[in-house]
Structure formats: structure tokens, C-alpha cells
Amino acid sequence: MRIVLVGPPGAGKGTQAAYLAKNLSIPHISTGDLFRANISQGTDLGKQAKAYMDAGNLVPDEVTNAMAQDRMEKPDAENGFLLDGFPRNVSQAGVLDELLTAGGLKLDAVLDLEVPEDEVVKRIAGRRICRNDSAHVFHVTYSPPKKEGVCDVCGGELYQRDDDSEETVRTRLEVYHTQTEPIIDHYRAQGLVVTISALGKVTEVTERAMEALGRA
């Protein structure tokens, strides 16, 4: 299958992408991973992306598009892929359409993870990270530490990242609504959008997604 995964920040796209890609035996292609891989490997595209990022600018669409195209042409993506974070706007969606059409391919589904805005804010603003190890993540409501402000694993101090503050989360949501959400209408016109609720346990959301994709 060839799938695009969309949803607001805090919808659990990364988590669901990993489970779905494994269940469907297709590679999970995330823009974050693409940037990191190209930059660490020192590719031409990575150097271009790094120059923009170091200057505090967004990586332009043409660089992102080229990275995504290169990754989708790898042998492991021959029988399908799950795109996470690409396309992020209607322009990129148009480029993806052209790339697939040129290769005689098409998308099977665009999986839209739906989460109420207040829940997104609650999920992200409630996160607390350990200063000693960022892999130690807690949540004030859903997975609180035994002792407030202290990591259960190593005793390190727990803190809220600047980009997890409620104000920043609402700004990120506004960017999502204006830039990324319009791609849902773009793909709905093609009859590709499957919308599911991303509320509940991770396993429940995965089961919901697999069932929805089975009908796609």
C-alpha cells in the first residue's frame, strides 16, 4: 500500500506510523528522518537543508520534494510506503501526485488522524522530559511520575520543553490548519481520505486504522 498519514501535532502520527508500517510491511518515511539522514550522510540535499536550517529558515519545498522522491525510489519502497510529514502543503501534494503518476503509481489512502484541539493541547502541554535522558518522557495526566518533577527512571529533573508550552502548541496548530489541513480537501476530491479518531489507547487507534485501511 501507498499511504499518506495526516493529522495535527500531538495526534500520535509517529507512533501510529511505526505500528502501521510494521503491520503492512512497508517502510515508514518521515520528513524528520529524511532531513536527519541526509544531513548526517552529507548528501548534496542534506547540505542544502542544513544551510537553510542553520540560518533559521524553513527548508524550501523543492529540497524536501527531492529528498522524498529519492527515498521513495529506494528498493524497499517498491511495493509501498507510508509517508509521515510529507506532503505538508498543497504544493507538495501536487508534486507527489505528479511523481506517482510519472511512475505509473497511485496512492491507496490518505489516513487522517482526528483529535479535538483541546485534547492536542492537553497531550503536548502536559509532557515532561527528563533533563538527563530525553527518552524518559512523562505526562502530568496520562503517565505522571511517582514524585512530581522527578524522573522515575534515573531521578533526573523533569521539565517542559519550550515548544511544548500551550501558547506554542496553539501556534503550531494554526500553522497546521492553514498549511497542512488543506491537503485533506485536495485528497478528498480524489476519494482517498479515510478519517479515524485518534483518541484512546495506541493499540485501539492502530486497530481502527488497519480496519479503515482495509476498506480503503
Annotated binding site for AMP: 31, 36, 57-59, 85-88, 92, 161, 172
Catalytic residue among 47, 74, 106, 161: 161
- How far is residue 80's CA from residue 99's CA, in Å, rounded to a whole number? 14
Name the residue among 180, 165, 172, 162 with its Cα closest to residue 124. 165
Catalytic residue among 13, 122, 128, 208: 13
Packing angle of the helix pair 61-72, 31-41 (nearest 10 deg): 90
Query: Is residue 172 annotated as part of the catalytic site, yes or no?
Result: yes
Catalytic residue among 2, 123, 172, 208: 172
Helix %, strand %, coil % of the chain (to 5): 50, 15, 30
- Which residues are known binding-site members? 10-15, 31, 36, 57-59, 85-88, 92, 127, 137-138, 161, 172, 200
| Alpha carbon 13 to its chain's center | 5
Catalytic residue among 2, 71, 122, 127: 127
Check if the beta carbon of residue 193 is closer than 8 Å to that of residue 110.
Answer: yes
- How far is residue 167's CA from residue 121's CA, in Å, rounded to a whole number? 9
- Which residues are known binding-site members for ATP? 10-15, 127, 137-138, 200
- C-alpha radius of gyration, the chain, whole number: 18
Query: Is residue 170 annotated as part of the catalytic site, yes or no?
Result: no
Check if the beta carbon of residue 179 is closer than 8 Å to that of residue 89.
Answer: yes
Query: Is residue 208 annotated as part of the catalytic site, yes or no?
Result: no
Name the residue among 117, 115, 130, 133 with its Cα closest to residue 166. 117
Catalytic residue among 71, 88, 122, 123: 88
Q: Which residues have a catalytic role annotated?
A: 13, 88, 127, 161, 172
